[in-house]
């Protein structure tokens, strides 16, 4: 079953339309990634492994974590390049097997040097999976169906992340190293599923010499996405600190995370509203940025659990509208067969934002109870709402790539 054999109006009319548009291989990939994501909770405990198990300082643990983060940048670029050269299945399997091997190395590490090698190796494997996954979604869709399919990808990851937190809460109290073993097992299980159900293919490059960095439209969209992801990562890192500083109760973070995942599922029909998603989705993106601005403004004034929950609900709605359309636009700009390289470059916005966001938080969160930080992010989001319809809006391709059977 492929996008060509189903009326793409099903994506608009039916709640399961996006799922029905996927081929059997893409469905297997999505389910395997969800299982892998449920097991992907160990990275949050790497610093704890270094400090508690290996008795390293917080500073040393931070440096190793930074080395992991830096390693993910060439990993993502390599994922896009390998996809365009050897295909999705082989690239994804390389990433998963690499992650499994380095997770087992971390689980067995008895020295800081070994843990550091494992962390860097994990970073080099970690992002190989993302460009092929996203490119496969792009290849099975057109301009009309692509936002809904990307929405399905991101909501599945959000739901799996909540389950991952529940598993981590149980296993972490038993044996910290077991977390890394479980994560490695899910990687290997995912690789087996990919090998069995995702067809082998090569990507037909109509312009193998095309370089994404030279595409001005992609670079403008990349700049927009980098500012968006910076605001996003500021909320990820900054909300727990704000909740703690204002003595609201850290329990609300877990509740808000779970509620946000539910809302991201419930809000999926927004991607089927014709007026909101017509043409290139400009109205959807502008609406998403406005909702994000309101959520940050709510957080600026939050001094109780209810306000934090409202922030989480609004943020989830904004994510549904923005994540799907940002990636759909990037995929639309890619020449046939070059979706991997384009999405890999586009995805670097996350690495940049993850590096810069802590610096912004450190410089501003303690000023006037963090109110200027959150009102500032709200203002930035409103600015993006104005700019979004003008950035990367003109469609270049209706299909992000061609797949040719071996």
Average confidence score pLDDT of the chain: 79
- Say what the pLDDT of residue 41 is: 62
* Structure confidence by residue, pLDDT tens digits, 91-121: 999 999 999 999 999 999 999 999 999 989 9
- Say what the pLDDT of residue 387 is: 92
C-alpha dihedral sign at 13, 18, 19, 24? positive
Which one has a higher pLDDT value, 363 or 286? 286
- Say what the pLDDT of residue 278 is: 67
For residue 209, pLDDT over 70 is answered with no
Which one has a higher pLDDT value, 145 or 279? 145
pTM summary value: 0.75
- Say what the pLDDT of residue 393 is: 57
Asked if 105 and 118 count as a contact pair (C-beta separation under 8 A), the reply is yes
Q: What is the DSSP string of 88-120?
A: HHHHHHHHHHHHHHHHHHHHH--SHHHHHHHHH
3-class secondary structure, 396: coil
- Quote the CA–CA distance of 372 and 378 in Å, as a whole number: 10
- Say what the pLDDT of residue 231 is: 94
In this structure, of 29-43, 74-88, 316-330, the range with the lowest mean pLDDT score is 29-43
* Structure confidence by residue, pLDDT tens digits, 269-318: 888 777 777 667 788 899 999 999 999 999 999 888 999 999 999 999 99
Domains identified in the chain and CATH numbers: 3-202 (1.20.1250.20), 212-393 (1.20.1250.20)
CB atoms within 10 A of CB 251: 10
For residue 218, pLDDT over 80 is answered with yes
- Say what the pLDDT of residue 402 is: 42
Which one has a higher pLDDT value, 392 or 199? 199
Contacts of 248 (CB under 8 A, 6+ apart): 302, 303, 304, 305, 308
For residue 357, pLDDT over 90 is answered with no
Whose CA is closest to 132, among 180, 178, 217, 190? 190
Which one has a higher pLDDT value, 247 or 231? 231
């Amino acid at each position: 079953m492929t996008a060509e054999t189903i009326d793409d109006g099903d994506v608009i009319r039916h709640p399961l339309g996006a799922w029905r548009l996927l081929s059997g291989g893409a469905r297997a990939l999505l389910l395997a990634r969800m299982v892998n994501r449920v097991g992907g909770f160990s990275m949050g405990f790497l610093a704890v492994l270094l400090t508690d198990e290996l008795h390293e300082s917080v500073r040393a643990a931070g440096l190793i974590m930074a080395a992991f983060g830096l390693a993910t940048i060439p990993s993502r670029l390599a994922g896009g390049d390998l996809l365009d050269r050897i295909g999705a299945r082989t690239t994804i399997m390389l990433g998963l097997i690499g992650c499994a091997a380095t997770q087992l190395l971390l689980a067995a590490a008895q020295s800081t040097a070994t843990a550091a090698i494992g962390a860097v190796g994990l970073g080099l494997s970690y992002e190989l999976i993302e460009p092929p996954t996203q490119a496969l979604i792009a290849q099975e869709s057109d301009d009309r169906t692509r936002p809904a399919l990307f929405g399905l990808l991101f909501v599945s990851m959000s739901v799996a992340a909540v389950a991952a937190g529940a598993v981590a809460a149980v296993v972490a109290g038993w044996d910290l190293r077991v977390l890394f073993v479980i994560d490695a097992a899910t990687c290997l299980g995912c690789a087996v599923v990919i090998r069995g159900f995702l067809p082998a293919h090569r990507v037909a490059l109509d312009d193998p010499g095309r370089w994404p960095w030279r595409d001005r439209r992609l670079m403008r969209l990349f700049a927009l996405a980098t500012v968006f992801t910076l605001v996003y990562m500021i909320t990820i890192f900054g909300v727990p600190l704000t909740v703690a500083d204002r003595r609201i109760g850290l329990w609300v973070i877990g509740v808000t995370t779970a509620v946000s995942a539910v809302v991201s599922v419930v809000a999926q029909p927004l991607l089927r509203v014709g007026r909101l998603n017509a043409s290139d989705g400009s109205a959807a993106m502008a609406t998403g940025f406005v909702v994000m601005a309101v959520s940050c403004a709510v957080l600026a004034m939050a001094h109780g659990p209810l306000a934090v929950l409202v922030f989480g609900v609004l943020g989830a709605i904004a994510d549904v509208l923005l994540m799907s359309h940002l990636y759909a636009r990037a995929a639309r700009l890619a020449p046939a067969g070059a979706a991997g390289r384009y999405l890999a470059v586009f995805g670097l916005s996350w690495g940049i934002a993850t590096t810069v966001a802590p610096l912004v938080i450190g410089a501003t969160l303690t000023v006037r109870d963090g109110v200027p930080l959150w009102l500032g992010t709200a203002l930035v989001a409103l600015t993006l709402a104005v700019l979004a319809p003008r950035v990367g809006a003109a469609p270049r391709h209706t299909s992000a790539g061609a797949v040719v059977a071996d």
